[in-house]
């Protein structure tokens, strides 16, 4: 294996050289602090040498935005990036974003500074009050439950092993974030000569494939089923998984339901697509194929028959990192979704060839679900029409108007708000829903990261007013302007915690909260003018209260994004649910 030998001034500079050599394009620096000087100096040196674009530093002004931008970039491209946080303080701010990345299986190298070890005697020794008060006994303990691996770099000579191990573990399926700390003394340590391999010495494992015998059992169960069902949530994380999923469904005329879909998993206009909630279909299914779905149904609302066979496809079909999860797994197909679906598709084709099953039953099932699809879509259209003149505006109408202006290549990122029954996504990599961990404030930064990854595509962020606040609007709009990332933000502003209200009304139907004029702990009023915050950062902002005006307002905002190349925000006044 060939080696590269460099003269670098510090361990921090060596780390940047390694990241560049390993194909990392962006270094998202969140809230630079007094632990960052060796990295700042190294980046300044690279810029003076004309090398700034080969590993580009992104100066982010809040850690939620930092993690979410890296998350959004990797979510769209599949390419892990690097993040740097400020000691325990920046790590604490970033924990929610790290939880989201962990549950969404986003590979990410999260680095963090640490207070200097020494109190005197070095140029990196402690020199400010915070250097004592910010130190913790176990900084990585803040995130250990939600990262795949953590380590503290102790010596410069460890650098290549630690960096390669971090990147390999992050990408190894199931992928996720890792966390490496750099004490200031170590990051600033002189490293006069740095030698490392030109190729990573550690690589992630090849995509796992399930046991062929298990695939054959799953295929047999599906072929012999009378009422099979496919439930999917996150298979579209790998865009290559969508085509074999469609093909498998078509082979046997299996209806497909998305349960809290976090990606575009199956074309929404396909006649076998049966909507975005599986609970109504589960009780009648005799075989259920759950594809990358951590919650294929909600057991307190619906459960499959006792004799039903449940097949789960996932890198980790048991979701071992979830403390409790009691979904049955009769056949677990552990492996990459795309490869597993292709193997299952081939096995089904072979089983059908030698089966005595009456093909006419498959044709009848196809006609049944195609008719159900048409009825469902008509009902959704009628629902939007009924609320088209509601003031304040209905979520369904807002979503329908967004759906009407979308091009097939546009990217939509939503945090809870967008109603998927009023849009239609057909292509993989065009829709991204919030991570199921539900730490709010993810979508604005993720939209910026997606735009950074795809500068020629239109990116729309559909988000509630509460989630937008969690996303730190000032940091979001600052970053959009600073890095020329024109995103259209549509705020569903109903002045409340919508999900908390709904959960309370389910808990106590007709109870005190349901009858209250103002629901305790759920009201977010008076609402700020979010549109003016966008305007203050050079964007186009508009307050929209009239439902008839929304289509034209969307056109004006898209003109600002596409033609004027600046961010836009529509502050849409919505009604409480």
SS (H, E, C) 524-575: CCCCCCHHHHHHHCCCEEEEECCHHHHHHHHHHHHHHHHCCCCCEEEEEEEC
- Beta bridge partners of residue 541, listed in sequence order: 569
The reply to whether 392 and 367 lie within a common domain is no
pLDDT for res 206: 81
Distance CA 444, CA 467 (A): 9
Rounded to an integer, the average pLDDT of 462-481 is: 97
Rounded to an integer, the average pLDDT of 377-395 is: 97
Residue 99 lies inside a defined structural domain of this protein: yes
Question: Taking a C-beta distance cutoff of 8 angstroms, is the pair 276, 420 a contact?
Answer: yes
Question: Is residue 1 predicted with pLDDT exceeding 80?
Answer: no
Question: Is residue 357 predicted with pLDDT exceeding 90?
Answer: no
**CA 230 vs CA 243, 342, 370: distances in Å:** 14, 15, 15
Compute CA 10 distance to the chain's CA centroid, rounded to the nearest angstrom. Answer: 34
Rounded to an integer, the average pLDDT of 284-303 is: 97
Tell me 134's DSSP state.
Answer: T
pLDDT > 70 in the chain, percent? 99
Question: Is residue 285 predicted with pLDDT exceeding 80?
Answer: yes
Instruction: Return left, alpha or beta for 220; rule: phi > 0 is left, psi -120 to 50 is alpha, else beta.
Output: alpha
The reply to whether 349 and 421 lie within a common domain is no
Residue 206 lies inside a defined structural domain of this protein: no
3-class DSSP state of 12: helix
**CA 42 vs CA 8, 26, 48: distances in Å:** 9, 15, 10
The band of 472, judged by pLDDT with boundaries at 50, 70 and 90, is very high
The reply to whether 370 and 481 lie within a common domain is no
The reply to whether 367 and 391 lie within a common domain is no
Q: How does strand 3-6 pair with strand 194-197?
A: antiparallel
The reply to whether 59 and 187 lie within a common domain is yes
Residue indicated by tokens 């890296």: 70
Element (H, E) at 368: helix 359-386
Enumerate residues 6+ apart whose C-beta is below 8 A from 378.
none
Of 22, 168, 77, give the one whose Cα is nearest residue 446.
Answer: 77
Distance CA 425, CA 429 (A): 9
Distance CA 449, CA 76 (A): 8
User: End of a domain among 374, 409, 439?
Assistant: 374
What are the pLDDT digits (tens) for 59-88?
Answer: 999 999 999 999 999 999 999 999 999 999
Question: Is residue 354 predicted with pLDDT exceeding 70?
Answer: no
pLDDT for res 125: 87
Question: Is residue 293 predicted with pLDDT exceeding 90?
Answer: yes
**CA 17 vs CA 58, 109, 171, 271: distances in Å:** 16, 15, 20, 51
pLDDT for res 284: 97
Residue 207 lies inside a defined structural domain of this protein: no
pLDDT for res 192: 83
Token digits of residue 265: 């998993």
Question: Is residue 200 predicted with pLDDT exceeding 80?
Answer: yes
Q: Find the range with the poorest average confidence among 71-75, 131-135, 206-210, 256-260.
A: 206-210
Question: Taking a C-beta distance cutoff of 8 angstroms, is the pair 223, 27 a contact?
Answer: no
Distance CA 197, CA 201 (A): 7
The reply to whether 155 and 15 lie within a common domain is yes
Enumerate residues 6+ apart whose C-beta is below 8 A from 169.
148, 149, 178, 204
The reply to whether 237 and 370 lie within a common domain is yes
The reply to whether 22 and 117 lie within a common domain is yes
What are the pLDDT digits (tens) for 213-246?
Answer: 999 999 999 999 999 999 999 999 999 999 999 9
pLDDT for res 502: 87
What are the pLDDT digits (tens) for 500-518?
Answer: 988 899 999 999 999 998 9
Rounded to an integer, the average pLDDT of 312-323 is: 96
Rounded to an integer, the average pLDDT of 453-460 is: 98
What average pLDDT does the structure give for the chain?
Answer: 95
The band of 356, judged by pLDDT with boundaries at 50, 70 and 90, is low
What are the pLDDT digits (tens) for 517-528?
Answer: 899 999 999 999
Range(s) of the domain holding residue 477: 387-573
Enumerate residues 6+ apart whose C-beta is below 8 A from 180.
109, 110, 111, 112, 150, 151, 152, 153, 162, 163, 166
The band of 123, judged by pLDDT with boundaries at 50, 70 and 90, is confident
Q: Count up the domains in the chain and report the number.
A: 3
pLDDT for res 423: 98
The crossing angle, in degrees rounded to 10, of helices 63-77 and 442-453 is 50
Residue indicated by tokens 């959960």: 503
Rounded to an integer, the average pLDDT of 454-460 is: 98
pTM of the model as a whole: 0.96
User: Residue 406 maps to which CATH number?
Assistant: 3.40.50.970
Rounded to an integer, the average pLDDT of 371-388 is: 98
pLDDT for res 183: 95
**CA 252 vs CA 223, 224, 256: distances in Å:** 7, 10, 11
User: Residue 358 maps to which CATH number?
Assistant: 3.40.50.1220
User: End of a domain among 317, 348, 374?
Assistant: 374
Rounded to an integer, the average pLDDT of 257-267 is: 97
The reply to whether 521 and 553 lie within a common domain is yes
């Amino acid at each position: 294996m060939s080696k590269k030998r460099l003269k670098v001034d510090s361990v921090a500079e060596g780390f940047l050289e390694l990241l560049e050599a390993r194909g990392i394009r962006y270094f998202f620096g969140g809230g630079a602090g007094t632990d960052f000087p060796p990295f700042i100096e190294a980046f300044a040196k690279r810029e003076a040498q004309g090398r700034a674009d080969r590993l580009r530093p992104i100066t982010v002004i809040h850690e939620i935005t930092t993690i979410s931008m890296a998350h959004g970039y990797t979510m769209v491209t599949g390419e892990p990036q690097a993040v740097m946080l400020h000691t325990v303080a920046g790590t604490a701010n970033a924990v929610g974003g790290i939880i989201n990345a962990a549950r969404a299986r986003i590979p990410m190298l999260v680095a963090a500074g640490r207070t200097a070890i020494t109190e005197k005697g070095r140029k990196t020794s402690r020199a400010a009050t915070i250097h004592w008060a910010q130190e913790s006994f176990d900084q990585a303990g803040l995130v250990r439950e939600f990262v795949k691996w953590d380590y503290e770099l102790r010596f410069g000579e460890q650098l290549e092993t630690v960096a390669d191990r971090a990147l390999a573990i992050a990408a190894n399926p199931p992928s996720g974030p890792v966390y490496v700390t750099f004490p200031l003394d170590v990051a600033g340590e002189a490293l006069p000569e740095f030698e490392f391999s030109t190729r990573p010495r550690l690589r992630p494992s090849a995509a796992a494939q399930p046991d062929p015998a298990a695939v054959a059992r799953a295929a047999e169960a599906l072929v012999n089923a009378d009422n099979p069902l496919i439930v999917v949530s996150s298979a579209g994380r790998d865009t290559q998984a969508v085509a074999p999923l469609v093909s498998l469904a078509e082979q046997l005329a299996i209806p497909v339901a998305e349960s809290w879909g976090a990606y575009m998993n199956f074309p929404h206009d396909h006649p076998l697509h049966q909507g975005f909630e599986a609970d109504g279909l589960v009780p009648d299914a005799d075989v259920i194929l759950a594809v990358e779905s951590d919650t294929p149904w909600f057991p307190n609302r619906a459960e499959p028959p006792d004799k039903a066979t449940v097949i789960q496809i996932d890198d980790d079909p048991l979701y071992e990192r979830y403390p409790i999860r009691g979904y049955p797994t009769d056949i677990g197909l552990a492996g990459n979704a795309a490869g597993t679906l292709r193997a299952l598709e081939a096995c089904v084709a072979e089983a059908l060839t030698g089966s005595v099953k009456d093909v006419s039953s498959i044709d009848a099932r196809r006609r049944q679900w195609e008719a159900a699809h048409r009825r469902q879509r008509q009902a959704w259209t009628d629902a939007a029409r009924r609320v088209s003149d509601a003031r304040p505006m209905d979520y369904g109408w807002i979503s329908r108007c967004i759906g009407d202006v979308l091009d097939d290549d546009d990217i939509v990122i939503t945090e809870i708000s967008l109603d998927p029954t009023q849009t239609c996504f057909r292509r993989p990599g065009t829709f991204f829903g919030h991570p199921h961990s539900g730490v709010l404030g993810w979508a604005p930064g993720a939209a910026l990261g997606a735009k950074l990854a795809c500068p020629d595509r239109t990116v729309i962020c559909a988000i509630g007013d509460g989630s937008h606040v969690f996303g730190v609007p000032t940091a979001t709009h600052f970053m959009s302007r600073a890095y020329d990332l024109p995103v259209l933000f549509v705020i569903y502003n109903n002045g409340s915690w919508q999900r908390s209200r709904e959960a309370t009304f389910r808990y106590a139907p007709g109870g005190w909260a349901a009858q209250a004029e103002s629901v305790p702990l759920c009201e977010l009023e008076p609402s700020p003018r979010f549109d003016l915050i966008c305007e203050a950062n050079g964007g186009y902002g508009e307050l929209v209260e009239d439902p008839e005006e929304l289509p034209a307002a969307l056109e004006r905002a898209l003109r600002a994004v596409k033609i004027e190349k600046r961010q836009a925000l529509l502050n849409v006044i919505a009604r409480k649910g």
